Chain A
Amino acid sequence: DAGVTQSPTHLIKTRGQHVTLRCSPISGHKSVSWYQQVLGQGPQFIFQYYEKEERGRGNFPDRFSARQFPNYSSELNVNALLLGDSALYLCASSLIWSSGNTIYFGEGSWLTVV
């Protein structure tokens, strides 16, 4: 079975543009979360979705939005990009939302804003 897949792997955007990052969870997993990792720091929680509903939101501005589709894949959208949005964006999946199951991460999408 494939692990968590993310696309694109790398991208460069200009300040003010918007970006869409995509994530496909492990087959059978219904919960998807998004994290932002700035160089030298641990990942910071952005969003969590379960069964297509938002279950949690981190301390990020409204420029960040996300959604989950009926097949449990997810998109993270960031509008009006700032230089500080440059980071590794990680998607994680787990079987269900509130459980003790292991959380699995994808390889991430590297976003550079110039």
Chain B
Amino acid sequence: KQEVTQIPAALSVPEGENLVLNCSFTDSAIYNLQWFRQDPGKGLTSLLLIQSSQREQTSGRLNASLDKSSGRSTLYIAASQPGDSATYLCAVIRSNDYKLSFGAGTTVTVRA
């Protein structure tokens, strides 16, 4: 069974600081990994998709890395802004059945 863990569960940073969000998974047989953002009471917004053959993916201020062998992914958000305050979820797609397994998320607060 795939277990996905996100640490820390919550963090608060001043505006302008870089954010580092961690995701670990127990089964390295993944098809890909996707990072999502969730605002309070809302659905999930896709941020980045990393294929299992890739090491990283970038979009604007966001950069996500993937190390399958160690079962880890990291999401970096540069120069954080108050609008980045949200819960960030990572999810892995299992190679055997293509189902998403989610972590519980990291809730980020960026203080102005």
Residues of A whose CB lies within 8 Å of any CB of B are 4, 6, 33, 35, 40-45, 48, 55-56, 58, 90, 92, 97-108, 110
Chain B residue at minimum C-beta to C-beta distance from A31: B98
CB distance from B2 to the nearest CB of A (A): 10
Question: Would B31 and A100 count as touching, CB distance under 8 A?
Answer: yes
Bound together, the chains give a CA A48 to CA B99 distance in angstroms of: 8
Q: A102-B34, A105-B36 are in contact. Are A45 and B101 (CB under 8 A)?
A: yes
Among A33, A41, A97, contact of B100 (Cβ-Cβ < 8 Å): A33
Residues of B whose CB lies within 8 Å of any CB of A are 4, 31-32, 34, 36, 41-46, 49, 51, 89, 91, 93, 97-105
Which of B36, B44, B49, B105 has the most CB atoms of chain A within a 10 A radius of its CB?
A: B44
Question: Would B98 and A97 count as touching, CB distance under 8 A?
Answer: yes
List 15 A–B pairs whose Cβ atoms lie within 8 Å, in order of A's numbering: A35-B100, A35-B102, A42-B4, A43-B100, A43-B102, A56-B97, A99-B98, A100-B32, A100-B49, A101-B49, A102-B46, A103-B46, A103-B100, A108-B43, A110-B41
Q: A100-B32, A105-B36 are in contact. Are A45 and B100 (CB under 8 A)?
A: yes
CB distance from B34 to the nearest CB of A (A): 6
